[in-house]
């Protein structure tokens, strides 16, 4: 498996991966692939933090981290993470997250937040965001709104998260 930065001509394949990966997801609106396209064309997009996983020259997974504000701090949100169903449970998502975290830290970010599975993301080191003083801009269970310290010596960053407009969250 190869993990690399996504190229412009990868986005048709990426959108197919995202759409297929979320087709049977319990908490999906079916528009995650549209969100990926919108975020790619937004000011929140970070080219070095849109990654693909390739096996035999086929894109089988994708992860995207985009800029958010937590209070006055510019940090990143992990959304979405997608792996084709037939390639799930093989460590591809874990590898994408770990590589994304490493690259986000190199880019100078200190925190990553995610809205997701309380069974999956804690295995990657995510904790309830409230533990860091980070609040969601919407009603959500503390166990599903999580944060990860990319830098172990990160200065505190507290406040309500402001997502990119493309997420459609006021």
- Does 27 map to a domain? yes
Residues 6+ apart with CB under 8 A from 130: 142, 145
- Does 169 map to a domain? no
Residue 30's pLDDT band, with cuts at 50, 70 and 90, is low
Side-chain half-sphere exposure of 150, counting CA atoms within 13 A: 24
Task: Flag whether pLDDT at 118 surpasses 60.
Answer: yes
| Cα–Cα distances in angstroms (integers) from residue 127 to residues 51, 99, 158, in the given order | 23, 19, 15
Q: What is the largest CA-CA distance in the chain?
A: 43
Q: What is the residue-averaged pLDDT of the chain? A: 94
Task: Flag whether pLDDT at 79 surpasses 70.
Answer: yes
Q: What is the Cα–Cα distance from 89 to 119, expressed in whole angstroms?
A: 14
Residue 94's pLDDT band, with cuts at 50, 70 and 90, is very high
Percent of the chain at pLDDT above 90? 89
* Other CB atoms within 10 A of residue 114 CB: 23
What residues form DSSP beta bridges with 53?
A: 3, 61
Q: Which of 24-33, 80-89, 135-144 has the lowest mean pLDDT?
A: 24-33
CA 154 to chain centroid, in Å, comes to 20
| Predicted local confidence at residue 23, as pLDDT | 87
Give the mean model confidence (pLDDT) for residues 117-132.
96
In this structure, the strands spanning 159-162 and 134-135 are parallel
Domain assignment of residue 84, given as a range: 2-164
| Predicted local confidence at residue 27, as pLDDT | 63
Residue 26's pLDDT band, with cuts at 50, 70 and 90, is low
Give the mean model confidence (pLDDT) for residues 143-149.
97
For residue 85, what are its two tokens? 């169903």
| Cα–Cα distances in angstroms (integers) from residue 103 to residues 8, 16, 54, 159, in the given order | 19, 24, 18, 24
- Does 49 map to a domain? yes
Q: What is the pTM of this model?
A: 0.94
| Predicted local confidence at residue 119, as pLDDT | 94
Residue 22's pLDDT band, with cuts at 50, 70 and 90, is confident
- Does 22 map to a domain? yes
- Does 72 map to a domain? yes
- Does 170 map to a domain? no
- Does 16 map to a domain? yes
Place of tokens 């959304």: 79
Give the number of domains in the chain: 1
CATH of the domain at 141: 3.40.630.30
pLDDT tens per residue across span 47-78: 999 999 999 999 999 999 999 999 999 999 99
Place of tokens 């533990």: 131
- Does 158 map to a domain? yes
């Amino acid at each position: 498996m190869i993990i690399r930065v996504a190229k412009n001509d990868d986005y048709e394949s990426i959108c197919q991966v995202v759409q297929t990966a979320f087709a049977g997801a319990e908490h999906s609106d079916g528009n995650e692939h549209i969100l990926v396209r919108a975020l790619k064309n937004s000011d929140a997009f970070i080219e070095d933090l849109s990654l693909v996983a390739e096996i035999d020259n086929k894109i089988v997974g994708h992860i995207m981290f985009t800029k958010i504000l937590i209070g006055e701090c510019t940090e990143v949100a992990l959304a979405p993470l997608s792996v084709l169903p037939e390639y799930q449970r093989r460590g591809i998502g874990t590898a994408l997250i770990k590589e994304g975290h490493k690259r986000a830290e190199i880019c100078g970010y200190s925190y990553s937040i995610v809205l997701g599975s309380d069974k999956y993301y804690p295995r990657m080191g995510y904790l309830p965001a409230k533990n860091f003083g980070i609040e969601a801009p919407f009603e959500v269970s503390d166990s599903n709104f999580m944060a990860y310290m990319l830098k172990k010596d990160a200065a505190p960053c507290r406040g309500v998260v402001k997502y990119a407009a493309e997420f459609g969250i006021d």
